[in-house]
Chain A
Amino acid sequence: MSAKHHRVGDGPVIRRILIGLAVVLTALFLFMPLVVIFTQALAQGWAGYIGNILDEYTLHAIGLTLFVALLTVPLNTVFGVFLAWLVTRFSFPGRRLLATLIDIPFAVSPVVAGLLYLLLYGSNGWAGQWLGQYDVELMFAWPGIVMVTVFVTCPFVARELIPLMQQQGRDEEEAAVVLGASGWQLFRRVTLPNIRWALLYGVILTNARAVGEFGAVSVVSGSIRGETNTLPLHVELLYQDYNIVGAFTAASLLAGIALITLAVKTIVEWRQSRSEEF
């Protein structure tokens, strides 16, 4: 037995087999779909690609999707920071229950999420009937899309922040308070610099899910072309129209956002591991 062979799987043969298997399976299962998206999108060349993006309905879907994200992401960021602050900086009865409640959107099927809002705010729901007296229609219009997107993406920021803030502890912040910092100073000067990378990733992830939500949005949107069609719904519509290139063109924009999300995650993790080393 060689001195190098210390741990399980250190043998050169088993090592090569396992790495090879992992690389091949990942290439087939995760990498290939990306290749498909972009080759299909570019099947008619760059001119066709640009032409498909500049299609009136695609542009409208892009606009609506960005608008929804623009409303959802800040709202859920503020909520996520408050929740993380609450559960990591104070102990009170019900703290764990709160941390579990926030996971509900992860566990609930997106279609059920959409249904929840439709039942409450739709024309048969009590909130919907009450709002209907004032001619306010939330479902099958953009407010409904925003509402379900907020529901589906509300855990992400808190989920990124809670483990980090728990691990960092409250010593630095308590010191700042003793030294006379106000609440806002404390957050901006002490907390924010410590959590900014995790916060950034939480925001990016919230954004990725907000622009990509499909199931919940399709329940409450009504998918009216040029009105309540978000980009993922537009992908479905084009695909069902057998406009495969068009569908993959729209899909490639969403895949681009996904790739940016992964890049940010990698950078954030690298920064965090570096700051832990020093």
Chain B
Amino acid sequence: MKSPLKAVVALAAAGALVLSAGCTARSDTPADDVSTEANTGTETAEFTVAFVPKLQGIPYFEAMNTGGQAAEADIPGLTWLYQGPTEADPAKQADIVRSLIQQKVDVLIVAPNDPDSLAPVLEEAKAAGIKVATADTDAPNSVRDVFVNQATAEGLGTTIAETLATAMGGSGTAAIVSCGETAENLNSWIAVEEATFASQYPDIKLLPTVYAGEDQAKATEMATDLMNANPDLTGLIGQCTTSAPGVAQAVKDAGKIGTVFTTGLGTPQAMLPYLEDGSSSGSVLWDVEGLGYLAAWAGAQLYYGNSFEATQTVGDLQGVTWDAATKTLLLGPPTVFTKDNAAQYDY
């Protein structure tokens, strides 16, 4: 996806798509003219796709940014803007979104900290003529045109539950250390995990979920408290990229490697030492850079007013599916990082 030739081919393919499909469904949108022009090669439209992460500076969103920058290099005319709050605060995030509306970006993609409180702000963006999308976390009750989904709750929740259940030998007591209490994506994965344990691993007892915020130290504390309070606890799930290393560290500090097993959503670089010493049995995630790339690509499609195929290949990403009913673009099945493959990823 980094070669210019591929980009040209991809653009030509996108152009063909516009010419064939664009005239019927979307012929009333002025964007069509722009895209046709761009694809005949006479002129490339310059447009800005802004992505607002939940917070800046954590490895997860930085990896998404890297993917977005790769798309910027591949897609002519695309300017990728990455700007988020320095803490996962809904109000600060809304301020940034408002300032981007003022700057009149063309496409706005947000990973909302609080989907409900952000919905009216997204409405303001749409009223200002900006195409609106969500990525990473959805705001289902908003005006967004597309949700760029990293994985289905079904796929992730089951993979996490299965990874932990296998490590635990199919029985015992487990607990989930989650992060933001209102984070829609985390909560939907937790629901699937609970259902998977209940239906497939009835011998695994799940304790009530605790919430550490996006705070590693707090996740470590809570995991330690859970182990101390429940001597029979043998499984821990770190539900987000800050709590996954947090719970593994707690197991390591307590000297319980091999007795208490952990898994969770962790970035490969952060999880590598824990995968190597056995305090983490496997980290479940998706291709984060690919998600950033897909988000930027989707932004470009929105700008040109293109529609999506049921299944498509985007750059190097194969099997990207589109669900028209929920207006969701899906990256694909999750990846499980182990001590054997984690070192290959540089995020």
Partners in one complex: no
Q: Name A residues whose Cβ lies closer than 8 Å to a Cβ of B.
A: none
Chain B residues packing against A (C-beta within 8 Å):
none
